[in-house]
A and B are shown apart, each in its own frame.
Chain A
Amino acid sequence: MIKLYNYELSANCYKQRLFLSILGLDYEAITIEFFPGMEHKSEAFLEINPLGHIPVLDDDGFMVRDAHAILIYLAARYDPSGRWYPTGDPGLLAKTAQWLLFCEGTTSTASAARLHDSLHYDFDIDAVRAGAHRLFRVADEHLWFAEQEGYDWLVPTDHPTIADLALFPDVILSEEGGVSRQDYPALHRWTDRVKRIDGFTPMPGIFFAAPART
Chain B
Amino acid sequence: MTWHPVASSADLTYRTTYHAQILGRELVAWRADDDAVNLWENRCLHRGSRLTLGINDGAELMCRYHGWRYANRTAGCTYIPAHPADAPARSVCNRTYPVAERYGLVWGSVEPQDSGQAGPPALDLLEAGDPTPLRPIVVNAPPAKVADALAGYRFQPSAAVTQRPGAAADWRSYRSPEGGWDVATVERDELRVTLRAADGDDETHLVAWVQPVDAHRSVIRGVLDARPPAPARLAVLRHHNHLLSRLRDRVEEQAALEPVPEPIQVEIVPVSVELSGMPELGAGRRAPLRVRVARKWSAAADVAGFELEPVGSPLPGFQAGAHIDLHLPNGLVRQYSLTNGPGESDCYRIGVKLEPESSGGSVCLHETVREGDVLAISAPRNNFTLSRASERTVLLAGGIGITPLLSMAQTLRQSGLAFEMHAFVRDRRFLPFGELVTSFGDAAVEHQGLSPQQTAEEIGRILGEHTLSAQLYVCGPAPMIEATIQVADELGWPEESVHFEYFANPTEIDDSTAFDVALARSGLTLRVEPAQTVLQALRAHDIDMPSSCEQGACGTCLASVLEGEILHQDVYLSRSERAAGDRMLTCVSRATSDRLVLDL
> From residue A142, how far is it (CB to closest CB) to chain B in Å?
11
> From residue A126, how far is it (CB to closest CB) to chain B in Å?
13
In contact, B11 and A207 (Cβ under 8 angstroms):
no
Looking at A2-10, A72-80, A184-192, the stretch in contact with chain B turns out to be A184-192
In contact, B21 and A182 (Cβ under 8 angstroms):
yes
Looking at B12-20, B93-101, B172-180, B195-203, the stretch in contact with chain A turns out to be B12-20
In contact, B21 and A148 (Cβ under 8 angstroms):
no
In contact, B238 and A185 (Cβ under 8 angstroms):
no
Q: A144-B135, A211-B416 are in contact. Are A189 and B13 (CB under 8 A)?
A: yes
Interface check B301, CB cutoff 8 A: no
Interface check A104, CB cutoff 8 A: no
In contact, B238 and A207 (Cβ under 8 angstroms):
no
Query: Chain B residues with Cβ under 8 A from A28's Cβ?
Result: none
In contact, B16 and A192 (Cβ under 8 angstroms):
yes
- Report the separation of the CA atoms of residues A213 and B14 in the bound assembly, to the nearest whole angstrom: 7
Looking at B51-59, B396-404, B513-521, the stretch in contact with chain A turns out to be B51-59
In contact, B135 and A210 (Cβ under 8 angstroms):
no
Interface check B49, CB cutoff 8 A: no
In contact, B53 and A188 (Cβ under 8 angstroms):
no
Candidates B19, B53, B57, B241; contact of A207 at CB < 8 Å = B53
A153-174 vs B, Cβ < 8 Å mask (1 yes, 0 no): 0000000000000000000000
Interface check B498, CB cutoff 8 A: no
**Using a Cβ–Cβ cut-off of 8 Å, how many residues does chain A contribute to the interface with B?**
19
**Who on chain A is nearest to B19 by CB?**
A182
In contact, B138 and A183 (Cβ under 8 angstroms):
yes
Q: What size tier do the contact residues of chain B reach?
A: 20 to 34
Interface check B64, CB cutoff 8 A: yes
Query: Chain B residues with Cβ under 8 A from A183's Cβ?
Result: 138, 219
**Who on chain A is nearest to B16 by CB?**
A192
| Interface residue ranges of B221-258 to A (CB < 8 Å) | 234, 237-238, 241, 245
Q: How many A-B pairs with Cβ below 8 Å?
A: 48
> From residue A167, how far is it (CB to closest CB) to chain B in Å?
19
> From residue B130, how far is it (CB to closest CB) to chain A in Å?
16
In contact, B18 and A210 (Cβ under 8 angstroms):
no
Query: Chain B residues with Cβ under 8 A from A144's Cβ?
Result: 135
Q: Which of B19, B56, B416 has the most CB of A within 10 A?
A: B19
In contact, B138 and A210 (Cβ under 8 angstroms):
no
| Interface residue ranges of A107-141 to B (CB < 8 Å) | 137, 141
In contact, A148 and B57 (Cβ under 8 angstroms):
no
Interface check A1, CB cutoff 8 A: no
- Report the separation of the CA atoms of residues A183 and B138 in the bound assembly, to the nearest whole angstrom: 7
- Report the separation of the CA atoms of residues A148 and B133 in the bound assembly, to the nearest whole angstrom: 12
> From residue B169, how far is it (CB to closest CB) to chain A in Å?
15
Which B residues form the contact surface with A (CB < 8 A)? 7-8, 11, 13-16, 18-19, 21, 53, 55-58, 64, 135-136, 138, 219, 234, 237-238, 241, 245, 416
7 contacting pairs across A/B (C-beta < 8 A): A141-B135, A148-B234, A148-B237, A189-B11, A189-B16, A211-B15, A213-B14
Other contacts beyond A145-B234, A183-B138: 18, CB < 8 A: A144-B135, A145-B237, A145-B241, A148-B234, A181-B19, A182-B19, A185-B8, A185-B136, A189-B13, A192-B13, A207-B53, A207-B64, A210-B15, A210-B58, A211-B416, A212-B14, A213-B14, A213-B15
The 8 closest A-B pairs by CB, nearest first: A210-B15, A183-B138, A182-B19, A185-B11, A213-B14, A210-B55, A144-B135, A192-B16
Which A residues form the contact surface with B (CB < 8 A)? 137, 141, 144-145, 148-149, 181-183, 185, 188-189, 192, 207, 209-213
